[in-house]
Structure 1
């Protein structure tokens, strides 16, 4: 792969719109608007980059709750109200999912979004099934439930309303202070021990954040949101994620201290993961923004991932190894000790659940 410095795509995380061929997809024909789009990217060198418009398409899946049996994650079910994410985080492990639709995990992932307006109805139908058994539903596991288009669609809020109605436990992971728009529902859920919220903070430098995650909330807003959630009695967790060697790891201690000042008492960290097309996209990003240390960054990444850009194996993919990984763990542990922060295990109540009514009818049994 050619690692010469590509043109910058201002306001977006990815630098290219390549469609991967690992699914055996037919070559996309370059005609009409798509040709104009690709040519506009190719002609950007030495000129200001064109602004790429975000489009949203309504999607109508048959189901909304995804179940899994992975040994590496602490939940067995999740909901993603949106596909793709306008936050544009260059490191996002969900980017490859766009390739299933013959779309680029790069720029398409952050500009061609899909919303699922039927999600509330589908959730209600799922929870009403006679054999359904409750367990915490994770939101924000693939794309952010509070990305900018949530303000218009309000799908996440509708899902939370159903969780409150049915007393169903739910967890949320986001990097947006827009989560505060639903603080009324979250506080009501928290009173019943039905919710926990994690906000991920990558750095405390707004300029760096603007390069890494160009349309996510500024770091200061995320830290402040953690404080407001905590003050409202909502169990909150600060996720220092991802930790990018030689790019963001220097902020680890400061983030933990800032969260502690806000009253947060739970924190964790996750090392950078680069599955499938995320690795070449991240390399492109490094070549643009940090060409002087790109080699060092990737060398450390490979050292904690068993010599590869990414370790996809069960049981090890979420557990970086090696000297650098041990150093990050030691630093994180010491920082938490100094700040008086632990890693709380939020045990949400599953006993209050009752199935929802469908079409206003109460269940017979």
Structure 2
């Protein structure tokens, strides 16, 4: 395959790192004039309902500002070519490439699981990051509303949480987010990779357009919901020149805080991103990867804490300096920043009623 697929960030079913065997399509030359007949069918999104066994994940990473997270979905239709979560599909024996963005899994029992886990006597409340591995407001949320039902549980229990999204669909839930914000129980962040809609359509083909994210940010801000921006990821020679403009646009849309992360290429993401570069920017692909390797100690990726988000070397230092100057110029230092979330309001829900044992004689009523 040599051309990009419209509406998809990847153009290959790259095998996961745990696969024992792989299949490759080969043109045997027997049908040189039948390209239409033998072309790949349109890749449609399929959604499988998944009964999850747990919903709150915990981490002790020193460079992550949260210890708990919850993900309503596996896989993400946004199709971001650079998504660090793509390798998680390998655990399902699926491709981190096209399968990650076309074969999705919805944890439809997530709200009930969340309520059950919050009701445990030993549970200690701590802000939950909602939708970290994949976007909680990806397009299928419009129909399935798993994220909305989870937020209803968090509102019922007054449990604090944060959101980060690339989708303007988040404004649908303002009726929940506004009262949560009034009690200091939620902060919402928008990931803005670029202000160029043409580049956005290549990098993250099914995410909301940049101007739609900024409009959504302004709408939440006007409703009293604290909003922030993440310029992420910064990709050398692709979107790095937009850092200052992204921060200025977000500040004008009401963002009270800002951050950035450098492109991360763990596991299968590295060959997938290299392929994306060849499809869209073949003239600068070698230069981009050379700079990334300079930032990562000569490798495509360095997973060490303290290095993985910012990189190392001269380019990384210049980027950090630019970011600090851009913060000041956009006025972020005079803003309130991220308001602290209130864990004291937490109301532990009652434990679920134990299921009655089935009688071998059956039931009369």
User: Quick one: distance in 2 between partners of 1:199 and 1:266?
Assistant: 11
Instruction: Say if 1:236 and 1:266, in contact at 8 Å, map to a contact too.
Output: yes
- The alignment's C-alpha RMSD in Å is 2.2
* Residue aligning to 2:4: 8
* Residue aligning to 1:298: 289
* Residue aligning to 1:357: 350
Give 1:358 deviation, angstroms: 4.1
User: Quick one: distance in 2 between partners of 1:280 and 1:346?
Assistant: 39
For residues 31-83 of structure 1, give each alpha carbon's deviation from its aligned partner in whole angstroms, at most 9, with x where no partner exists: xxx99xxxxxxx979x9874210000011121011111111211111000000
1:238 aligns with 2:234: no
User: Quick one: distance in 1 between partners of 2:178 and 2:308?
Assistant: 34
Structure 1 range deviating more: 216-225 or 248-257:
248-257
Report 1:178-327 matches (<5 A): 178-327=169-318
Distance 1:15 1:246, change over 3 A: same
User: Quick one: distance in 2 between partners of 1:49 and 1:206?
Assistant: 27
1:27 aligns with 2:18: no
Structure 1 range deviating more: 338-347 or 288-297:
338-347
Give 1:331 deviation, angstroms: 1.5
- In the superposition, the TM-score normalised over structure 2's length comes to 0.90
Structure 1 range deviating more: 5-14 or 76-85:
5-14
* Residue aligning to 2:30: none
Instruction: Say if 2:72 and 2:110, in contact at 8 Å, map to a contact too.
Output: yes
For residues 304-331 of structure 1, give each alpha carbon's deviation from its aligned partner in whole angstroms, at most 9, with x where no partner exists: 1121111112332223111111111121
* Residue aligning to 1:72: 63
Structure 1 range deviating more: 291-300 or 104-113:
291-300
For residues 123-179 of structure 1, give each alpha carbon's deviation from its aligned partner in whole angstroms, at most 9, with x where no partner exists: 000000000000000012100000000011101111111111111000001000110
Q: Secondary structure at the match of 2:218?
A: helix
How many residue pairs get aligned? The number is: 344
Q: Secondary structure at the match of 2:202?
A: helix
Give 1:354 deviation, angstroms: 1.3
User: Quick one: distance in 1 between partners of 2:205 and 2:111?
Assistant: 29
* Residue aligning to 2:99: 108
Q: Secondary structure at the match of 1:245?
A: coil
Q: Which structure: larger Rg?
A: 2
- In the superposition, the TM-score normalised over structure 1's length comes to 0.90
* Residue aligning to 1:38: none
Flag structure 2 segments of 5+ consecutive residues without an equivalent. 27-33, 355-365
Flag structure 1 segments of 5+ consecutive residues without an equivalent. 36-42
Instruction: Say if 1:10 and 1:49, in contact at 8 Å, map to a contact too.
Output: no
